[in-house]
Amino acid sequence: MAKFINRRRFTIEWGHCDPAGIVFNSRFFEFFDWGTWMLFEAALGVKPSDLSAAFGIVGLPLVDAGARFLAPARFGDVVELTSQVREFRRSSFDVAHRLLVGSTVAVEGHETRVWAARDPTDPAKMKSQPIPSEVTARFHA
């Protein structure tokens, strides 16, 4: 659905890896989280820490995630992470991620997140909110 893609190149560091020098699987979910936040910052022109002031939300809580591990990423590899919103719904959206080592897809991941604000009846809780049309429009550029 959305066409806007964010790309980030970085080098795999030792701290990302297990003792064999291969990226530890949970680190990919950290990379996906980076990808989502950078995607929204690039599309909206708003830093994650400023989303509350700009849109009245608390954040974009994760409600589902998964990955397919296709090839290893190793210490010292220069990789590219691509992130793209695949679908916007009323208050949730799906993000697709791909991590490439050179031209090889190493990992494909997905996340489902919610556009969330403080619950007006109980500020200790969050509540989903409709995603503003001006937000979704920025992903179709």
pLDDT of residue 140: 87
Separation CA 83–CA 98 (nearest Å): 7
79-134: pLDDT as tens digits: 999 999 999 999 999 999 999 999 999 999 999 999 999 999 999 999 999 999 99
Of the candidates 77, 91, 87, 93, the residue with the CA atom closest to the CA atom of residue 31: 77
Read off φ and ψ for residue 117, nearest 5 degrees. Answer: -125, 170
pLDDT of residue 20: 94
> Which parts of the chain fold into alpha helices (H)?
25-44, 51-55, 133-138
34-60: pLDDT as tens digits: 999 999 999 999 999 999 999 999 999
Average pLDDT over residues 11-37: 97
For the whole model, what pTM was predicted? 0.93
Is residue 19's pLDDT more than 90? yes
5-138 under CATH 3.40.50.920, yes or no: no
Give the residue extent of every domain in the chain.
Answer: 5-138
Separation CA 32–CA 62 (nearest Å): 11
